[in-house]
Amino acid sequence: MVSLTPAAHHGRPAVSSMQSMSLSSFRSNFGMRNVRPRRGLQALALAAVLLLHAGLASAAEAAKPAPIPVIVDNDFGTDIDDGFALSLVLASPRLKPLLVTTTYGDTQTRAQLIAQLLHDTGHADVPLAAGPAIGTREGEIGQAGWLRSPAPQVRSDGVDALLATLKRAPAGTVTLLALGPLTTVDAALKQDPQTFARLKQVILMGGSIHRGYGPQAGTNSDTPSAEYNIKLAPQALRDLLASGVKVEVQPLDSTEIALPAPLQARIFAAHTPYAAPLSALYTLWAERSPWGTTPTLFDVVPVARLLAPSVCKPVPLHITVDDDGMTRVGAGAPNATACLDVDKAGVLKLVEAALAPAAVPKQAQP
Ligand SMILES: [Ca+2]
C-alpha cells in the first residue's frame, strides 16, 4: 500500500512505488475501483501530476553533483598538517577517496598511522597502501607513538595500487592530491606514464614562488624558500611538470595558514570521530615540533581548493626547479598553474564546518 504522506510524497521510496504502479492498482489503492469515466479522467490527471512530481524529484537528485574521486598521497606522521588534510577529506561527503598512499622515508609507519586513523573514524573501507621507502632526509616520525599494539598490517604496493586505481576509474576523472615529497607519485609516473596520464589533474602542496617560509606559522617572508616537499625530491617535480598531466601547485605563497587556537580547541572538543585522533597526534607533534606549537595547514589548501574552487585563482606559469628545490618562474609555455594567494578565512571555514560542526540543539534533533 502506498501512502502519500507529505514526507513519503517527496522521498525516493514513494516515487519508485508510484512509478511501478499500474493505473488499476493506483485506482484500487485509492478506492477508485468503480469510479465513473469523468472521475477516471481526474484520477489519470492526478496520476500524471504525481508522476511529473516524481520526475522532478529524480531530476533534482540527478542534479546533485557526484562526489569527486580523489587519490591522496601524503607523508603523514612528520608535520601535523597531513592529519588535518586527510581528516578533511574523510569528513567531506563531496569527496570520494579511492585510495590513500604514503610517500617518502618510512612509508610503512606512515601508512600504519593512517590505517589506525581510518579505523578509528569509521573509514576502514578506504583502500590504503604504503609507497616505496625512498628518501632518508626526514626526521623521526614523532607521531608513531600514537600507534596501538599490535600495529595494523598495511599493504606496501602503493605504486601498483595507484596505477590499478587509475585503470579502474574512467580516464580523466580522478584528482591526485599530492601532499608530501613526490617520490611515490614519481615512481608511479615512471612505472607507467600512460596509466598515470589517465589522471584528471594533480593538485600538489609544494614549492615557493614569490613568498617563502615566514618567521612563525601563518606568515610569509617576502622572498621564496626551498620548500620542504620539493627540496627532498626536486627531480620528481621536474618529471611531473614534464609529464603532460595537468598540475596545479599550491606553494608556500598560498598555504601559510595558521590554525587559530580557538578553532583548534573546538576541533579537539567536537563530537566527531576526528577529535580524539587529531588531539592525540597534535600532542605528540607539539612535543617534538621544531616549528613551534601552532599548526600551519599547508596540506589543507589543496583539499579546500577541491571543496570550494573559489578559495584561490590559479595563474598559469612556467615553473623551473633547481637542485636545491627552489621553484622559479622561467621563460616558456606554462607547465602548471599556481595559486599565489588564498582566501584564508574561506579555508578555515571549510575546516570548521567539517571538523568542528556546531552542536545540533537538542530540540532540533529528530
Ligand atoms: Ca605533507
Per residue in 247-305, pLDDT tens?
Answer: 999 999 999 999 999 999 999 999 999 999 999 999 999 999 988 999 999 999 999 99
Per residue in 313-332, pLDDT tens?
Answer: 999 999 999 999 999 999 99
Determine the 3-state secondary structure of 287 from DSSP.
helix
Tell me, what's the pLDDT at 17?
Answer: 33
- Between strands 212-213 and 220-221, the pairing is antiparallel
The alpha carbon of 46 and the centre of ligand 1 are apart by a number of angstroms equal to 58
The alpha carbon of 101 and the centre of ligand 1 are apart by a number of angstroms equal to 12
Per residue in 194-223, pLDDT tens?
Answer: 999 999 999 999 999 999 999 999 999 999
The alpha carbon of 242 and the centre of ligand 1 are apart by a number of angstroms equal to 22
The alpha carbon of 82 and the centre of ligand 1 are apart by a number of angstroms equal to 5
Taking the CA atoms of residue 323, residue 328, residue 329 and residue 331 in that order, the dihedral angle to the nearest 10 degrees is -30
Tell me, what's the pLDDT at 22?
Answer: 35
Tell me, what's the pLDDT at 3?
Answer: 32
The alpha carbon of 326 and the centre of ligand 1 are apart by a number of angstroms equal to 18
Determine the 3-state secondary structure of 243 from DSSP.
coil
Collect residues with CB below 5 Å from ion ligand 1. Answer: 75, 82, 179-180, 299
The alpha carbon of 358 and the centre of ligand 1 are apart by a number of angstroms equal to 28
The alpha carbon of 79 and the centre of ligand 1 are apart by a number of angstroms equal to 7
Number of Cβ atoms within 10 Å of the Cβ of 10 = 13
The alpha carbon of 300 and the centre of ligand 1 are apart by a number of angstroms equal to 9
The alpha carbon of 27 and the centre of ligand 1 are apart by a number of angstroms equal to 63
**CA angle (129, 268, 310) in 5-degree steps:** 70
pLDDT above 80: residue 360? no
Tell me, what's the pLDDT at 294?
Answer: 98
The average confidence (pLDDT) of the chain is 87
Q: What is the DSSP letter of 67?
A: P
Tell me, what's the pLDDT at 217?
Answer: 95
pLDDT above 90: residue 13? no
The alpha carbon of 57 and the centre of ligand 1 are apart by a number of angstroms equal to 42
The alpha carbon of 170 and the centre of ligand 1 are apart by a number of angstroms equal to 27
Tell me, what's the pLDDT at 137?
Answer: 80
The alpha carbon of 240 and the centre of ligand 1 are apart by a number of angstroms equal to 17
The alpha carbon of 254 and the centre of ligand 1 are apart by a number of angstroms equal to 15
Q: How far is CA 45 from CA 40, 42, 48, 50, in A?
A: 9, 5, 5, 9
The alpha carbon of 290 and the centre of ligand 1 are apart by a number of angstroms equal to 15
CA–CA separation, 48 vs 19, rounded Å?
10
Tell me, what's the pLDDT at 317?
Answer: 98
**CA angle (131, 303, 184) in 5-degree steps:** 15
The alpha carbon of 75 and the centre of ligand 1 are apart by a number of angstroms equal to 5
The alpha carbon of 25 and the centre of ligand 1 are apart by a number of angstroms equal to 60
**At 172, is the pLDDT very low, low, confident or very high (cuts 50, 70, 90)?**
very high
The alpha carbon of 74 and the centre of ligand 1 are apart by a number of angstroms equal to 5
Tell me, what's the pLDDT at 11?
Answer: 29
The alpha carbon of 192 and the centre of ligand 1 are apart by a number of angstroms equal to 24
The alpha carbon of 228 and the centre of ligand 1 are apart by a number of angstroms equal to 9
Per residue in 99-153, pLDDT tens?
Answer: 999 999 999 999 999 999 999 999 999 999 999 999 988 767 999 999 999 999 9
For 257, phi then psi, to 5°, come to -120, 115
Burial class (CB in 10 A: 0-12, 13-18, 19+), 239: middle
State which H helix or E strand residue 328 sits in: strand 327-329
The alpha carbon of 180 and the centre of ligand 1 are apart by a number of angstroms equal to 4
Per residue in 61-105, pLDDT tens?
Answer: 667 789 999 999 999 999 999 999 999 999 999 999 999 999 999
pLDDT above 60: residue 169? yes
- Structure-block grid coordinates of residue 141: 616520525
pLDDT above 60: residue 6? no
